[in-house]
């Protein structure tokens, strides 16, 4: 097993982050600084949470909209937007630079669509729940958008975009493309 060796300045930053974590989020394991958290009242869970630097949470602020399960780890620059409901299960590993959002700007189907003439930040916010199951691994630069429902045990390949329901124990690459599923009967991954 490889041991992390920190420079003196990195060691001091980590000690500072650990002290602030225990003072502000005692149930979390280690929240590296800086972190951006808007709408703190909307966050729940977080037991054993570990985050990298520059993580950003944009939450609704009045009701519970983001639940993070036990022993989750998030890499640097993970960005989560939760205005309706984002639920992250236990033991989820999220690589750096991932974006998870239950919110988008504008309506683009049906009879009351937004047009390109309206500035994006003036368009109506549209939300849809996001669920990430237990024991999920999300690769670097992945994007999980409203309506995504990722089953337990899934592996989401780097740079993937997920917008729909993914069955448990699946390996996903690209845009919702399932390439393998774990077969419980034979105890092995099978190509789809």
* Catalytic machinery residues: 105
- Report the alpha-carbon distance of residue 72 to residue 43 in Å, rounded: 14
- Report the alpha-carbon distance of residue 129 to residue 15 in Å, rounded: 36
Rounded to 10 degrees, the C-alpha dihedral 117/121/124/128 comes to 120
Specify burial of residue 134 (Cβ count, 10 A radius: 0-12, 13-18, 19+). middle
């Amino acid at each position: 097993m490889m041991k992390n060796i920190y420079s003196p300045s990195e060691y001091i930053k980590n000690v500072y982050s650990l002290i602030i974590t225990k003072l502000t989020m005692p149930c979390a394991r280690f929240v590296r600084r800086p972190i951006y958290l808007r709408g703190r009242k909307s966050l729940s869970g977080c037991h054993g949470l570990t985050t990298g630097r520059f993580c950003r949470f944009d939450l609704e602020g009045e009701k519970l909209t983001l639940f993070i399960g036990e022993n989750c780890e998030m890499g640097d620059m993970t960005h989560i937007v939760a205005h309706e409901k984002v639920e992250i299960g236990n033991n989820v590993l999220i690589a750096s630079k991932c974006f998870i959002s239950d919110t988008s700007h504008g309506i683009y189907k049906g009879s009351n669509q937004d047009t390109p003439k309206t500035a994006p930040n003036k368009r109506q916010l549209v939300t849809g729940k996001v669920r990430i199951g237990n024991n999920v691994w999300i690769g670097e630069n992945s994007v999980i958008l409203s309506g995504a429902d990722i089953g337990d045990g899934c592996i989401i390949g780097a740079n993937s975009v997920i917008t729909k329901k993914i069955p448990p124990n699946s390996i996903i690459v690209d845009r919702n493309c399932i390439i393998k599923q774990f077969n419980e009967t034979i105890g092995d991954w099978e190509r789809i």
